[in-house]
Structure 1
Amino acid sequence: MNTILQQSFAVSFQYPVCFTEDLFDPSNSLFVDALEKGKICKTFFVIDDGVAKAFPNLIHQIQTYQKVHHDRFSLSADPSMVPGGEECKNDPEIYQQVVRATHEFGIDRHSYIVAIGGGAVLDMVGFAAAISHRGIRLIRIPTTVLSQNDSGVGVKNSINYFGKKNYLGTFTTPVAVLNDFNFLKTLDDRDWRAGISEAIKVALIKDLDFFEWLEQNQKAMAAREMDAMKTQIIRCAKMHMDHIAGKDPFEFGSSRPLDFGHWAAHKLEHLSDYRIRHGEAVAIGIALDSAYSHLKGWISEEDLMRILGLLQGLGFSIYEPELSGENLIQGLREFQEHLGGQLTIMLLEKLGKGVEVHEMDHELIEESVALLQHKSGKLILS
């Protein structure tokens, strides 16, 4: 005889994604407003060491801010510095450093871990917070274009393992995402540019009007005009948030439209030993999947040239030597493994509209690579 008790419940998730300047100015209450009210909240800050070097007064600003708002939160210890970029996700010792801190400083489920840095640091710290005490409250403070318009606003946390991108991770919502545009001012040109690839991605699969806006404002963004960048970031973040709130926020299925251009990008990062940064790899992945869509007869040559022209106009490469060979096809297999189901790849039916496919022609992938290699030496004017 079988006895089956059926369990069913739903949990609602809410968190604010905020945009500001001078987050730790004592007169700016945005940070303390994100904390639980009616108590002094214990906090522990983990800071990307590149951000700390670019903003040498940051720790002092945080300490001063806490003294002004001492009735709202405390600092459990001095902030912990961690390396930025993929290094922090590749070395298990670094996430374990954060986990040890939760033990040593008594960071419990009612405390807050505050992560300040680029997307890799947010991923790593979020993973450490999620597995400590089965989940410590996390506040993300993204400091790059890519983390402010895409990765920082979502629900994913991860580290790399077995040489594979994001192999270990969780889906865990933050308490709040606090974006301070001032952090963008010290980015080098590569990091300033890199995050725009995620805006191109979401525009191509969801919003032709946004793609045309990106075309019209590419020179302003390339010239580091802040108003254009702010508009791009907020608009891109909103589109990512709208998608996350849709049918499958924790990706139980195999459909991942926001990974347009990413199956190749993840492999390119690894093959280049992370010489190619994530946003740069995504730009190349977009170029590859757009070329494939063109060779399939779905988008015209004119449309393909518009896409490549926008990428090159912003300063992206559309081809790197690592793009060639069997290793790229292996990346396709690893992407399917990561999905955990049937292969599902987002391509372009037309500009502003994606279409999912469940198989890719390996010969056509090679033709797409050859096409990009041919076009890479030419500046395509959009």
Structure 2
Amino acid sequence: MEYIQQQFDVNFSFGVFFSRHLFDPANTCLSAFLESKASTAFQKKLLVILDGGVAASHPGLAEQISRYLGQVRGFQLAPEIITIAGGESVKNDLPLLFSLVDAIDRYGIDRHSYVIGVGGGSLLDLVGFAAAISHRGVKHIRIPTTVLSQNDSGVGVKNGVNYKGKKNFLGSFAPPAAVFNDSTFLTTLDGRDWRSGMVEAVKVALIRDAAFFEWMEQRAAALTAGDMPGMEELIYRCADLHMAHIGGGGDPFESGSARPLDFGHWSAHKLEQLTNFALRHGEAVSIGIAIDSVYSCLLGWISESDMHRIVSVLKQMQLPVWHPLLEKQDGKPSPVIAGLEEFREHLGGQLTISLLKAIGKGAEVHHIDLDLLYKAADICKNLQ
């Protein structure tokens, strides 16, 4: 038998920039980055895809973006800024996905050029995937506009859309060229989006950084009430922890079954789907964190007092810790708990669920005791 073995490494590097008023002409954060990527041999192109909700909340934003990017040396801005709806529904719209691919083709966005997504996490997932499947990978820049996307999804390497009711069934691992977090966009968020975005910081603190959890525990009420300097610090620390996990010798493209950053997510993804996304992602993750923390307590891994501390922080952030779909329905299994197998399929390989050994220390299990899980759900119901 003749045999040839091939092996190579691919190096990825990208920065997350923190700024305010990103498209103010006096702010060179984005323009300096782009001009550092310009070529003297040819002109590169830019295509902007903007969240319509963000545009409505910031009148004149599209024109401001056009003026700002139109002055960047070495780049030509596409003649239109494509404005689409935001929110989870865009990830269920395959014709919309291919309309963005068509725009990439129509405006000649090649692999030296950039697609820029401005919006929440769902829009960035969609835009990143459209870029990833065009020309086998067009560069994309993310400008997240929500708490959730600035501290978690926007700084990661995943893109995707939903398919056949399954969250992120179609997707890619395609790191952005850069991420620009502009806290000005957070000033117009509604209360639910402001609060629910914080839960990813709770999640990553619980599995990696006890001191960060304690920091949020002390400031939960102020953060919930709209403390902007506090929120900027929360986003920075949360993004830093996510980036450290992705690049810190972990498994950035998730080739194994372990998903420590998915703590609280196995039930959250199913809750989102079953409620037709009436639950925000962060609200569903809050419920997932609560049930998995209580389950960890029932295993004897964390103390009852620590479990109550976790639930208390979630409740201070005005986030839910239980949902009726966690109960058995007319004698049949809870449709959320029945989704454990679907979560295993999404991961591939054996079931792997992240739990807590302590606040600040995650651990994984490959088996869930369903009776104990239902008991955890009942406890969450009584704690809500």
Please indicate, yes or no, whether the TM-score normalized by the shorter chain is above 0.5: yes
Equivalent residue of 1:279, what SS?
Answer: helix
The residue number in structure 2 matching 1:345 is 353
Which region of structure 1 is more displaced relative to structure 2, 143-152 or 327-336?
Answer: 327-336
> In the alignment, is residue 368 of structure 1 matched against residue 376 of structure 2?
yes
Q: Give the whole-Å Cα distance in 2 for the aligned partners of 1:72 and 1:323.
A: 55
Q: Give the deviation of 1:162 after TM superposition.
A: 1.1
The residue number in structure 2 matching 1:102 is 104
Residues 8-29 of structure 1 show CA distances to partners (whole Å, capped at 9, x for unaligned) of 1111111110000011111212
Letter of the 2:204 counterpart: V
The residue number in structure 2 matching 1:355 is 363
The residue number in structure 1 matching 2:309 is 306
Letter of the 1:3 counterpart: E
Residues 277-328 of structure 1 show CA distances to partners (whole Å, capped at 9, x for unaligned) of 1011101100010011111111111111100100000110111212223311
CA contact (8 A) 1:266 1:331 kept: no
Give the CA RMSD over aligned residues.
1.0
Q: Give the whole-Å Cα distance in 1 for the aligned partners of 2:11 and 2:189.
A: 36
CA contact (8 A) 2:326 2:337 kept: no
Q: Give the deviation of 1:202 after TM superposition.
A: 0.6
- Counterpart mapping for 1:250-329 below 5 A: 250-325=253-328, 326=333, 327-329=335-337
Q: Give the deviation of 1:67 after TM superposition.
A: 3.6
Letter of the 1:369 counterpart: A
TM-score normalized with structure 1 length = 0.96
CA contact (8 A) 2:50 2:82 kept: yes
**Residue in structure 1 matching 2:225, options 200, 214, 223:** 223
Runs (4+) off by over 3 Å: none
Residues 155-184 of structure 1 show CA distances to partners (whole Å, capped at 9, x for unaligned) of 000000010111000001110001100000
Q: Give the whole-Å Cα distance in 1 for the aligned partners of 2:362 and 2:301.
A: 10
- Alignment coverage as a number of residue pairs: 374
Which region of structure 1 is more displaced relative to structure 2, 134-143 or 316-325?
Answer: 316-325
The residue number in structure 2 matching 1:153 is 155
CA contact (8 A) 1:34 1:175 kept: no
Q: Give the whole-Å Cα distance in 1 for the aligned partners of 2:365 and 2:223.
A: 33
Q: Give the whole-Å Cα distance in 1 for the aligned partners of 2:283 and 2:5.
A: 47
Letter of the 2:192 counterpart: R
The residue number in structure 2 matching 1:54 is 57
Q: Give the whole-Å Cα distance in 1 for the aligned partners of 2:86 and 2:156.
A: 19
The residue number in structure 2 matching 1:193 is 195
Residues 213-252 of structure 1 show CA distances to partners (whole Å, capped at 9, x for unaligned) of 0001112211101100000000000000000002211010
Which region of structure 1 is more displaced relative to structure 2, 284-293 or 38-47?
Answer: 38-47
Letter of the 1:11 counterpart: V
Aligned-residue identity in percent: 52
5+ unaligned residues in a row in structure 1: which ranges?
Answer: 377-382
Residues 22-49 of structure 1 show CA distances to partners (whole Å, capped at 9, x for unaligned) of 1111121221223212353200000111
TM-score normalized with structure 2 length = 0.95
The residue number in structure 2 matching 1:379 is none
Equivalent residue of 1:107, what SS?
Answer: coil
CA contact (8 A) 2:266 2:340 kept: yes
- Counterpart mapping for 1:173-212 below 5 A: 173-212=175-214
Q: Give the whole-Å Cα distance in 2 for the aligned partners of 1:324 and 1:77.
A: 52
